[in-house]
Amino acid sequence: MVCKKFQPNWDSSRPRVYDTWDNNGRTWVIQDLAPEDDEEALDILMEHLVPDEAICIASDLSNDPVSLEEFKQIWRKMLSERMSLGVYTTVGGEKTLVALNACHVAYADGEKEVLEVKGMASQNAFKAVDYIKKVSNGVKHLGLDKALSALGLVVKREYRGDKLGARILAAREPLCLSHGLEGTETLFTGPASQKLAERCGFQTIREISFDELADAGLKFPRNGTILKYMMKKYK
């Protein structure tokens, strides 16, 4: 797995708020994920995304302690870039993080920092992501030198059904534009997230099946699962 670090300033203008609304007696806010919430965000990713996400399931990540720790450290480093989105709800003055999108900046030129992983599950998962990015470079498809990417959009199970996913994807636009980024690209791994992305204006760059990943020598079942590498340009 590889990742080049993009480090915007965390100054008095942040966290920036990208969306806010009231519903069912709650106030909801989508904003920059605050540094003090990184550990809570990591817990949400580990507890509410890993057991449910297609590549994690196929790689048997939940049963590989070494890989789980590696995923956690990679997400921790990604969150430290301060490009991730947090969804908060406030009731009675108590503010709670209920969802997030772990984002980072991807580059067209492939200049990246190599991250070594030793766990079998994490090797399988990240080799799959690297294979997909190699056969189809989303940033180049956008015609850009860099773009916002993501490695995990997750909503706590008890808040699923509140239609937070569409608002999170929409909040990527003001996030991007505030940092001079003109597009976003992401691998959507489940049918529900793929349909949501299409409704939000994302276009498919390439479809990749688990069968194709298996043909590439990776440990994936030949079960017809389809992944969609998708993009959206803002300018």
Look up the CATH number of the domain holding residue 32.
3.40.630.30
- CA separation, residue 171 to residues 19, 141, 145, 177, 194 (Å): 7, 22, 21, 10, 17
Domain of 25 in residue numbering reads as 17-233
Quick check: is 5 in a domain?
no
Q: What percent of the chain has pLDDT over 70?
A: 95
Greatest Cα pair distance in the chain:
54
Token pair for residue 203? 């276009």
Quick check: is 2 in a domain?
no
pLDDT of residue 11: 85
Quick check: is 11 in a domain?
no
Quick check: is 10 in a domain?
no
Quick check: is 7 in a domain?
no
Quick check: is 96 in a domain?
yes
Task: Quick: pLDDT tens for 45-77.
Answer: 999 999 999 999 999 999 999 999 999 999 999
pLDDT of 2 higher than 50: no
Quick check: is 9 in a domain?
no
More confident residue, 137 or 10: 137
- Count structural domains, the chain: 1
The overall pTM is greater than 0.85? yes
Quick check: is 81 in a domain?
yes
Evaluate the omega torsion of the peptide bond into residue 15 and state whether it is cis, within 30 degrees of 0. yes
Task: Quick: pLDDT tens for 134-164.
Answer: 899 999 999 999 999 999 999 999 999 888 9
Question: Half-sphere exposure of residue 74, counting CA atoms within 13 Å on the CB side?
Answer: 28
